[in-house]
Structure 1
Amino acid sequence: MKEKLDHNNLPEHIAVIMDGNGRWAKKKGAARVFGHQNAIEAVREVTEGCAELGVHYLTLYAFSTENWGRPKLEVEALMQLLVSTISNEVETLMKNNVRLTAIGDLESLPKSCNHKLKEAIELTNSNTGLTLILALNYSGRWEILQAAKKIAQMVENDQLQSSEVNVSLWENLLSTKNIPDPELLIRTSGEMRISNFLLWQIAYTELYVTPVLWPDFRREHLYEAIFAFQQRERRFGKISEQVKS
């Protein structure tokens, strides 16, 4: 499948909703945490695959604001796993010239998690290849609400007139400031929803849903998603004839 890809038509930014860890574990008669532990290889495969292809940005939906409502033991295990994974993967990120960053309400994460994340972000800051963005304690509604509050505060402080509010201003107040909108959004596990992810940014993103559960997702599945993306005609509200001309 990799040989079939048009390397002149790669998405600049790929976003992934990593879904199916719990179901994967359940199929094996194990606790949900077992699925999260075995999802690390999928993260590594997709990150290295994007880096090798020359994709510029990869955003992984790692933990949503709604995930705090899951069983306490699962949330605690996820946080511990996140800390250990970030620590263990820094060497691989450096080897592949990957720059790590994150979006979301990071200050509300456990201190140990936040510390390791900031440490890894600083260590990889000078890398010039793929930018890997972890969406942690993130939701699209939370992000939009934060931007609205900032605008309201600016208007209240006489720093901004309502007539000055436009798309450019709004996008500069989002977590994804200076990051292009995703061109391709991949969701694993077959679920047909976007789960409060990048609600503003995916207005014209191509969606690709695969029944593959996230712990089983590998580079070949990534190539399949990109190949499907390359077969589509992106019209952005125009008609086909306008795009072709």
Structure 2
Amino acid sequence: MTASSLMSAAGMDKHWNLSYFHEDDAAEPIAAVHICAYSDRADMYLPRARRDSDHDPIFDSDDESDDAGLYQDGLEIRSDLPNHWALLLELRHGQGRGVKLEMAPSWQAGRPAREGTVLVSSLAAGWRTSESIVKSLRFDVVPAADVTTVQQVIENLGHNARHRYLFTEGGEGSRYWVYTVVRDLEAVDTLQEGDADVAEEALSMIWSQDRDAVAGRVRRGMFTEWTIRGEKKPGFW
């Protein structure tokens, strides 16, 4: 992948949220791509509903009435609901820092919740030890692509329109989004052949801090060139 001029958050459209991204990180080369599953608990001692899960209560539909009971004892999301997944880019010279890329439901006024937003966040060193991460896989960048930057990964997302995404009516979709992005990076030789298959195996399981992993079918959201409110407006992509 080749990078263009340094990206500007101000020029990107509504499908991106870079509120917690340090723009200087755009030029940083990456050493590896991690995919991480998040628990329904923020930590072991303060259980709470996950904010951007692969199954979020705002999406519940009539044909998923069994999912209405979201909480166990009023605190935790049910154990058979899938994890929220995200990509984390390990910075080659970042001394442990990273950049998190995740597809999350839209929480913007006037936008339907099914319409996704790519959240891009710069993370301090130590993010890999977060108690909310219950499963992670690390994929090394191939040697020939070891100068791939954060910006190039983001531009690849935009080129493939991976920022235009609708979650399922049941609120699932982050797992399929992560798998698709890993597959895209494999296709441009940033990741090794077969990495997407390894990712798919992990994404097909539901992971927990204190229970064995169980199989959970990956339900697909939909990539679009439009939004459910009409034609797309001019933007960075």
TM-score range, shorter chain: under 0.3
The TM-score with structure 1 as length reference comes to: 0.25
The structure with the greater share of residues assigned to helix is 1
- TM, length-normalised to structure 2: 0.25
Q: Which of the two has greater strand per residue?
A: 2
